[in-house]
Structure 1
Amino acid sequence: MKTQGQKILFLISFFAFIIGYSQIKVSGKVTFKNKGIPEVNVTLKDTYDGATTDAQGNFSFETSEKGSRILTFIHPKYEEVEKSINVDNQEVVISVSLKEQISEIDAIVVSAGSIEASDKKRATALLSPIDIYTTAGADGQISSALTYLPGVQKVGDKEGLFIRGGTGTESKIFMDGSLINNYFSNSIPGIAGRDQFNTSLFKGNIFSSGGYSALYGQALSGALLLESVDLPDQSSYDVAISPIFLSGGFQRLSNDKTHSFGATLGYSMLNLMQKALNFNTNFIDAPQGLNSDFNFRIKTKSGGFLKYYGMYNSNKMGVKTESLEPGYDFALVRLNGENTYHNLSFRQKFGKYLLNVGGSYSYNRSDLNFSTETNDAESGKTRLLTDGNYINFKAVLERKINKISAIRGGFELNNTDEKLNFGDVNKQYNDLISSAFVETDLGFSNALSAKIGVRAENSSFLNKSNIAPRLALAYRFAKDWTSSFAYGLFYQNPESKYINGPANLDFQKSQHYIFQVQRASEGRTLRFEAFYKKYDQLIKTFNINPGKEQNQQIQTALNNDGYGYAKGLELFWRDNKKTFKNIDYWITYSFLDSKRDFLNYPVSLKPSFAAEHTLSAVVKRFIPEWKLGVNMSYTYTKGRPYYDIATQFDEGKSINYVRNEGRLKDYNALNFSFNYLPNLGKKDAKAFMVLVLSVTNVLGSKNVYGYNFSVDGSRSSAVVPPVNTFVFVGAFISFGTDKTEDAINNNL
């Protein structure tokens, strides 16, 4: 027995020796750009043999396997690699270089000149719908809220987005890719039109203050891209009540959640507030308006969307001011306006391709009546009637190349048909702008990407074409730190309101150079941007019907000899509840240096709509235990220049000159708003209410937007806001849904 036991022990020892002797060492190093990568899993395929690299990227393990084998290298941030090795009686040494794993999450995004707020990028959203509603002084309007971001000027007497030294018409607004030709309501000179589109209609936006995509054109300054909501979460009914408006609407979602439809109807009237507040403007006809809209949305079986939105608005108002002309006591202006907009879009994937097709139709009618009054007798009536029909169609086909690279291309048609009747001037303006574009997103790595595009346009009215290249680069040079550069060439037709006679005109042109540095971490964003814009071929104008009353003089395009520049620096800082509990705030500063020789300017001048220094701050505090949101905003703007430009005639030639000029007082406005969420019904009731109190320009600063001058220039009057301090009180109620928790979580 003893001998047998010794034999068994000998056999076990022998086999152990053989196994140990047959273990072969496999070692090496794993690198990326000549630097060792830690935490790489190195495994002999189909075995349990392997190791993990150390801090220098080195690994080592032993195996008893023999012959031809596969060695795998796996790390979540790098592409998986397999290497063939031959295991025999000698140590195996191997070095491997990995490639970075391209990821949609980690990849850098080109952002020079643009700010995005959408469901896709909630972490970097800078102007979501909830931001707009809770920004004091914005009145729930997208365009007003944008003035609290860098690059957008506060110009109170004109509608539009005045971006980086550009006029309000040099920026364009798009809905689901289609151009909105009448985003703002009709108005009277000196009073800015309001947004006609409900902010809650849009789930996100991309605001570009320059260097925007080749998919969009006909804007010298910037673009606002609005994306409408898809299907609602559930059916609901909404009511809004205030002293100045009453509205109601509904959204119906099908049981299978594949389609929905809805409508709203509202009426506004400023008469009551005019009696309660001390208005600067004498409204002989208080502003009033009727607004309505209808929508439907259909989700296809394969995940696509068909969406329709249509609206009809009408508004009226009348203003009476002291006349600047001798022999008249007052000047009167009355407005009757109406417009409609319809947008149909379709989005669908076909294999590796994504198709976006959309079209829109707009109709706008503005009926302005000018007159004078002396001893309560009205005379000198003149009518300015404009009608416009606009059709836009666009198709974009996109194909992804890899996770962060894509190519897209398409075409766009934009047709304009306008009529104008003003005194002795009668005109009809027709133009078809045909465009084609191609653009590619190139992701070279998670730290480097580019966007390269080109757009070509042809105008039937100008009978000319253009080609506009666009380029943008982005590079991540440190954790949370990125830099971007953008260059672009942009063209725009002369404004049709200046085309009142024959002229050999061309496209207006601007070149953008933008450099940005940004640090974005969870809850905090620091953004610095520098830009330079060069303007060429701006239109020059002259006055027709000279010698008559001022309100009968209109500017008419003469040539494209205008030029100019705009350059500046911008700073944006946002801290979203990271430093202070339940407090979200942002601060912006913009410096702008701009000069232009365009329209009727006699020489190169600082534009009357461009301020050198702009500072704004927005603070939002939500008190959960009280269900109360307290919001504050402040804006300071250095006084803008103003000019009284007159025309004199010398040997039959008209010569423009600056007759009066100066600088406006600095603009200041401090605004507050309060949002309270009371309990509505039982705890589990599907109902939601928000009570809103907002006060615009709390301190009552007497801001001035500009000056009007008499025909001879000897008298002037200030253009001021309709009211210095405005108070709004309203209740917004939803039935069928309880958004209380969403509102609390979003700091309403």
Structure 2
Amino acid sequence: MNRKLTAMKTKLLFFFSFFLFTLSFAQTKISGKVTFKNKGVGEVNVTLKDTYDGATTDANGSFSFETSEKGNHILIFTHPKYIDVEKPIVIDNQEISVNSELKEQINEIDAVVVSAGSIEASDRKRATALLTPIDIYTTAGANGQISSALTYLPGVQKVGETEGLFVRGGTGTESKIFMDGSLINNYFSSSVPGIAGRDRFNTSLFKGNIFSSGGYSALYGQALSGALMLESVDLPDQSSYDFGISPIFWNAGFQKLSDQKNYSFGATLGYSNLKLMQKAFNFNTNFTDAPQGLNGDFNFRIKTKSGGFFKYYGMYDSNRMGVETESLEPNQYDFSLVKLKGKNTYHNLSFKQKFGKYLLNAGASYSFNRSDLDFSTQKNDIETGNTKLLTDGNYINFKTVIERKINKISALRGGFELNSTSEKLNFNDFVEKHYKDLISAAFVETDLGFSNQLSAKIGVRVENSSYLGKSNIAPRLALAYRFAKDWTTSFAYGLFYQNPESKYINGPANLGFQQSQHYIFQVQRTTDRRSLRFEAFYKKYDDLLKVKNLEYKDGQNQYVQTADNNNGYGYAKGMELFWRDRKTFENIDYWISYSFLDSKRDFMNYPFSLKPNFASEHTISVVAKRFVPKWKTGFNFSYTYAKGRPYYDIATQDVNGEPQYYVRHEGSLKDYNALNFSVNYLPNLGKKDAKAFTVLVLSVSNILGSKNVYGYNFSTNGSRNSAVVPPVNTFVFIGAFISFGVDKTQDAINNNL
């Protein structure tokens, strides 16, 4: 029995050993190296398809494993940052060596984005988001206005005497503003000389923006210097009611969301009057009629069953004021008085819908603007002269863009745009005109993602002006390259055209498009809650408008400037630095911007090439925000310094029977300085059952009372002058904002802190 058991054990041991020997003999070794651009790649999973056999590459990209499989198989190489590679192999009893060269996996998250000349703030941009609505509301000195907040970014000049975005040596009219792709004509309220108009649009209407100080997309045109693209909000999270009150204004509004959350509608109404503040503060400007305004708007938004989106926004705005100034011509009159009555209405309808692989964006806008200015003089309390300037403008814009994705980061888009202008002007019954123009444009643009490190944007825009009877072709090009983990560099070039300003076209003139060329180089580093960017730029201006004085009412030495030719030219060059940090200091968000600008141009009534009177050579801005949760309070500071701008007294003289311009007086203004402060208190913060959410605001502009000067006005003979100054040196604002039905905590606290 024992011998049988021993024999059986011997046989089992023999068969087991033979099995192990056979199994060992059947194992086949598979090895190789995985590379990307001739460099080994670690952490690549190498597996035999439909088996558990495989390995992971080491730091040099090498791998090795054994398998007992035989015959035809597929070897798979996978890594999150690279495209999967499959290689067929035949396994027999010999070792196999397989090398693989990977291709980069291109995706929207890792891909480099072209950003030369532009700063984007939206839910699509995380690390570098700038000037979201909460940024604007909490920037001391911005007064809740988008245009004012932009002056704390590099490239935008601080010009207080007139409205507009003055970008990199360009005038305020050389930058255009768009809402959901459609041009906004008359974004700013009507104004009088020396006092800038305000934003007509509520900041909370927009969820994000793209601000381009040059080299912008071919989808936009008719702007020599820059473009601001505003994106309106979608459906609200829930229904709400809002109310705001302060010594200078009140407003109320609501947003109603349907039970199915597929549509909403809302409206607001507001009134402002500076009369009370005029009594409380020592104003520099003598307002005979305190600035006041009435505004209202209505909106609806519809989300279709097929995923489309309709948006409508309509608004009405009116403002009026009267200003009295001491005469610079005492022998002729004692005071001059200007009265303004302005009216404006704007309507914007947009539609977005995806059709298979195509995305359609279509929009249309209409605006009507009336500016009624009445100029008069007084001598011994008797009116001695009166001049009226009445302007009515009707503007229609229509735009359609179709986009098709090529891959995850490449796309092709194209479309057309129509911009119709009809203006009627009456200048004291001496100049009457009816200006009409239809600018039709077509454009095509492509985003090309060559890799996660290299991308390009190439486009071209073609325009035709019915008034000028001419066409233009404007190419655009931008490149971006990531040369290190957090470092990218971008380059942008573009040719840009713009019609001469219609207010100077008062008679026949052989005019053409004004044009500028942009060259922009940028280096940017973006990390967690920190952003550093440097830009250098050069702009060349050609065919700028030149004007001449057209005399009216013989013997009274009064003139109106009218277009003469397109012989103007100029340049602007400089560098800019921007640093934003939300990480270093707990609950503190701050940014610093610096701009250097060297610019000269010969345009308008300049007798020769001069540094523009709206261009400051050095500008520095610092913004800091600190929220203290324990106190439920946010503290905001801002400071701006700008080197004094030049000023000129340009007069005419007779040369061989022809009037010619010359510089009679010139100089530099005192440096601009302004320190601003604001406090936001949230008494409802932390109260979950609060039915109303309240924000109390205290804001002080130019807290140190710096006496800034924007320029000088000169008498007819140049012997007297007066400074153009802000309406008030230091301004204090106190207000309360209450929301019913919705917690607006995140609208009052920067959620990036």
Same fold (TM > 0.5): yes
SS at match of 2:130: coil
Residue in structure 2 matching 1:457, options 451, 459, 463: 463
Question: Is the 8 Å Cα contact of residues 627 and 744 (structure 1) preserved in structure 2?
Answer: no
- 1:406-448 Cα shifts (integer Å, max 9, x gaps): 0000000000000110121111100000000000000000000
- 1:431-478 Cα shifts (integer Å, max 9, x gaps): 000000000000000000000000000000000000000000000000
SS at match of 1:445: coil
Question: C-alpha separation between the residues in 1 aligned to 2:121 and 2:712?
Answer: 37
- 1:561-584 Cα shifts (integer Å, max 9, x gaps): 1000000010000001x1100000
Please report how far the alpha carbon of residue 327 of structure 1 lies from its aligned counterpart in structure 2 after TM superposition: 2.5
* Corresponding position of 2:640: 635
- 1:151-183 Cα shifts (integer Å, max 9, x gaps): 000000010000000000000000000000010
Relative distance call for 1:422 and 1:55 in structure 2 (3 A) is same
SS at match of 1:122: coil
Please report how far the alpha carbon of residue 309 of structure 1 lies from its aligned counterpart in structure 2 after TM superposition: 0.2
Question: C-alpha separation between the residues in 2 aligned to 1:496 and 1:538?
Answer: 13
* Corresponding position of 1:46: 50
Please report how far the alpha carbon of residue 397 of structure 1 lies from its aligned counterpart in structure 2 after TM superposition: 0.2
Please report how far the alpha carbon of residue 710 of structure 1 lies from its aligned counterpart in structure 2 after TM superposition: 1.2
Question: C-alpha separation between the residues in 1 aligned to 2:128 and 2:305?
Answer: 31
Question: C-alpha separation between the residues in 2 aligned to 1:680 and 1:632?
Answer: 22
Residue in structure 1 matching 2:524, options 512, 518, 521: 518
Q: Does 1:489 align with 2:495?
A: yes
* Corresponding position of 1:59: 63
The two structures have a TM-score, normalised by structure 2, of 0.98
* Corresponding position of 1:746: 751
Please report how far the alpha carbon of residue 650 of structure 1 lies from its aligned counterpart in structure 2 after TM superposition: 2.8
Among the aligned pairs, what percent are the same residue? Answer: 79
Q: Does 1:728 align with 2:733?
A: yes
Instruction: Report 1:255-654 matches (<5 A).
Output: 255-325=259-329, 326-423=331-428, 424-545=430-551, 552-576=558-582, 578-654=583-659
Question: C-alpha separation between the residues in 2 aligned to 1:150 and 1:694?
Answer: 24
Relative distance call for 1:548 and 1:692 in structure 2 (3 A) is farther
Question: C-alpha separation between the residues in 1 aligned to 2:142 and 2:749?
Answer: 20
Structure 1 residue runs of 5 or longer lacking an equivalent are: none
Question: C-alpha separation between the residues in 2 aligned to 1:267 and 1:390?
Answer: 26
Aligned-residue CA RMSD (Å): 1.3
Please report how far the alpha carbon of residue 679 of structure 1 lies from its aligned counterpart in structure 2 after TM superposition: 2.3
Relative distance call for 1:145 and 1:262 in structure 2 (3 A) is same
Question: Is the 8 Å Cα contact of residues 150 and 572 (structure 1) preserved in structure 2?
Answer: yes
Question: C-alpha separation between the residues in 1 aligned to 2:557 and 2:701?
Answer: 32
Relative distance call for 1:79 and 1:270 in structure 2 (3 A) is same
- 1:105-156 Cα shifts (integer Å, max 9, x gaps): 0000000000000011132101111000000000000000000000000000
Residue in structure 2 matching 1:165, options 164, 169, 175: 169
* Residue identity in the other structure for 2:742: T
Question: C-alpha separation between the residues in 1 aligned to 2:603 and 2:191?
Answer: 24
Relative distance call for 1:551 and 1:498 in structure 2 (3 A) is farther
Question: C-alpha separation between the residues in 2 aligned to 1:295 and 1:418?
Answer: 27
Question: Is the 8 Å Cα contact of residues 24 and 88 (structure 1) preserved in structure 2?
Answer: yes
SS at match of 1:580: coil
Q: Does 1:7 align with 2:11?
A: yes
* Residue identity in the other structure for 1:530: A
Please report how far the alpha carbon of residue 300 of structure 1 lies from its aligned counterpart in structure 2 after TM superposition: 1.3
* Corresponding position of 2:244: 240
Question: C-alpha separation between the residues in 2 aligned to 1:548 and 1:290?
Answer: 40
Relative distance call for 1:51 and 1:36 in structure 2 (3 A) is same
* Residue identity in the other structure for 2:652: T
- 1:167-213 Cα shifts (integer Å, max 9, x gaps): 00000000000000010000111000000000000000000000000
* Residue identity in the other structure for 2:29: K
* Corresponding position of 2:149: 145
- 1:58-110 Cα shifts (integer Å, max 9, x gaps): 00000000011100000000000100001011000010000000010000000
* Residue identity in the other structure for 2:547: T
Residue in structure 2 matching 1:697, options 687, 693, 702: 702
Question: C-alpha separation between the residues in 1 aligned to 2:730 and 2:504?
Answer: 35
* Corresponding position of 1:105: 109
Relative distance call for 1:550 and 1:273 in structure 2 (3 A) is farther
Question: Is the 8 Å Cα contact of residues 481 and 520 (structure 1) preserved in structure 2?
Answer: yes
Question: C-alpha separation between the residues in 1 aligned to 2:419 and 2:381?
Answer: 47
Relative distance call for 1:684 and 1:745 in structure 2 (3 A) is farther
Question: C-alpha separation between the residues in 2 aligned to 1:601 and 1:290?
Answer: 39
Relative distance call for 1:744 and 1:642 in structure 2 (3 A) is closer
Relative distance call for 1:567 and 1:547 in structure 2 (3 A) is farther
Question: Is the 8 Å Cα contact of residues 551 and 557 (structure 2) preserved in structure 1?
Answer: no
- 1:499-550 Cα shifts (integer Å, max 9, x gaps): 0110000000000000000000011111000000000000111010168699
Question: Is the 8 Å Cα contact of residues 134 and 747 (structure 2) preserved in structure 1?
Answer: no
SS at match of 1:20: helix
- 1:276-332 Cα shifts (integer Å, max 9, x gaps): 000000000000100000000001112221000000000010000001112311000
Question: Is the 8 Å Cα contact of residues 116 and 207 (structure 1) preserved in structure 2?
Answer: yes
Question: C-alpha separation between the residues in 2 aligned to 1:541 and 1:458?
Answer: 23
* Residue identity in the other structure for 1:608: N
Question: C-alpha separation between the residues in 2 aligned to 1:348 and 1:604?
Answer: 50
Question: Is the 8 Å Cα contact of residues 412 and 436 (structure 1) preserved in structure 2?
Answer: yes
Relative distance call for 1:681 and 1:83 in structure 2 (3 A) is closer
Please report how far the alpha carbon of residue 649 of structure 1 lies from its aligned counterpart in structure 2 after TM superposition: 2.3
Question: C-alpha separation between the residues in 1 aligned to 2:151 and 2:35?
Answer: 49
Question: C-alpha separation between the residues in 1 aligned to 2:24 and 2:555?
Answer: 108
More displaced stretch, 536-545 vs 296-305? 296-305
SS at match of 2:116: coil
The two structures have a TM-score, normalised by structure 1, of 0.99
Give the number of equivalent residue pairs.
Answer: 747
* Corresponding position of 2:723: 718
- 1:17-47 Cα shifts (integer Å, max 9, x gaps): 1111100000000000000000000000000
SS at match of 1:123: coil
Question: Is the 8 Å Cα contact of residues 550 and 711 (structure 1) preserved in structure 2?
Answer: no
Please report how far the alpha carbon of residue 741 of structure 1 lies from its aligned counterpart in structure 2 after TM superposition: 5.2
Q: Does 1:91 align with 2:95?
A: yes
More displaced stretch, 542-551 vs 30-39? 542-551
Question: Is the 8 Å Cα contact of residues 549 and 711 (structure 1) preserved in structure 2?
Answer: no
SS at match of 1:544: strand
Relative distance call for 1:144 and 1:744 in structure 2 (3 A) is closer
